[in-house]
């Protein structure tokens, strides 16, 4: 079962907030009865009408994209730049699960299933995000240990991270590392390394939870399997049983 306003929003009728207004104004019916109470839950079998017109429920879809550099992680862009949604032609109104910066590449999930997205975006120690990071400078143990223990930047505390040095290149004065985090805050990896004096030159998300880039070139995508979707939902079930 899902909240009525969420079903209306997912059908593309209105935003979640506008859907709530439609309900309160008495413009929504469920199985012929006017509903004005927010939080009303409905099933796929219920007939929902807005202003007398029955809504069509979208089929839920799930995609994994290998996001290229120079693409906006958004549904639309006011500067008319290409977005990740433009890379996946489909009839449903999909949106990215979380975000990757304009210049960051790698694993990005897109869906029209809000519950699925919320499970992955909510802080959870089981949902690892693994990045390959290239930084300017030859990074040493002290800086790595500082990031491992957690840093505070501009008053924001970032949790401990797993950090592994992959290689250093004295000719180009750069270092490559693997970083594993769970939070995924805005610019988190970049801010962590900048805080210890090593600006990020390149950043690629190699894995998010069970999803990796295997078989996907830059800009390519694939549909998730029903099993993969079920595994994500099992995280929520496991949380409720704790």
Q: Is the pLDDT of residue 124 over 80?
A: no
Whether 46 is catalytic:
no
Radius of gyration of the chain (CA): 21
Q: What percent of the chain has pLDDT over 90?
A: 72
Q: Give the N- to C-terminal CA distance of the chain in Å, as an integer.
A: 22
Q: Which of residues 103 and 114 earns the better pLDDT score?
A: 103
**CB-based contacts of 158: which residues, under 8 Å, 6+ apart?**
150, 151, 152, 181, 183, 185, 188, 191, 192
Please, what are the domains in the chain?
Answer: 2-54 (3.10.290.10), 62-124+210-241 (3.30.70.580), 129-208 (3.30.70.1560)
Q: Is the pLDDT of residue 235 over 60?
A: yes
CA distance 110 to 61: 8
Tens digits of residue pLDDT in 42-86: 987 899 999 999 998 778 999 999 999 999 999 988 888 999 999
Q: What does the block give as tokens for 145?
A: 């240990």
CA distance 209 to 51: 42
| Candidate list 101, 103, 113, 125, residue with the active-site label | 101
The maximal CA–CA distance of the chain, rounded, in angstroms, is 73
Q: How confident is the model at residue 106 (pLDDT cuts 50, 70, 90)?
A: very high
């Amino acid at each position: 079962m899902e909240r009525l306003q969420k079903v209306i929003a997912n059908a593309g009728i209105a935003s979640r907030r506008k859907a709530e207004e439609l309900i309160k104004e008495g413009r929504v019916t469920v199985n012929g009865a006017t509903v004005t109470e927010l939080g009303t839950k409905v099933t796929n079998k219920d007939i929902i009408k807005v202003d007398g017109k029955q809504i069509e429920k979208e089929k839920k879809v799930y995609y994994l994209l290998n996001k290229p550099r120079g693409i906006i992680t958004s549904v639309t862009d006011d500067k008319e730049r290409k977005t990740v949604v433009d890379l996946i032609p489909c009839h449903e109104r999909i949106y990215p699960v979380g975000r990757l910066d304009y210049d960051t590449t790698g694993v990005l999930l897109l869906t029209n299933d809000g519950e699925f997205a919320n499970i992955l975006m909510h802080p959870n120690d089981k949902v690892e995000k693994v990045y390959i990071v290239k930084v300017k400078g030859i990074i040493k143990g002290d800086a790595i240990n500082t990031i491992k223990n957690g840093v505070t930047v501009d008053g924001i505390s970032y949790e401990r991270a797993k950090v592994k040095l992959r290689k250093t290149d004295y000719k180009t004065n750069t270092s490559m590392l693997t970083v594993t985090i769970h939070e995924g805050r805005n610019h988190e990896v970049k801010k962590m390394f900048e805080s210890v004096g090593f600006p990020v030159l390149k950043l690629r998300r190699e894995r998010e939870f069970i999803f990796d880039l295997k078989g996907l070139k830059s800009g390519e995508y694939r549909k998730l399997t029903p099993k993969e979707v079920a595994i994500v939902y099992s995280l929520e079930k496991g949380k409720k049983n704790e």
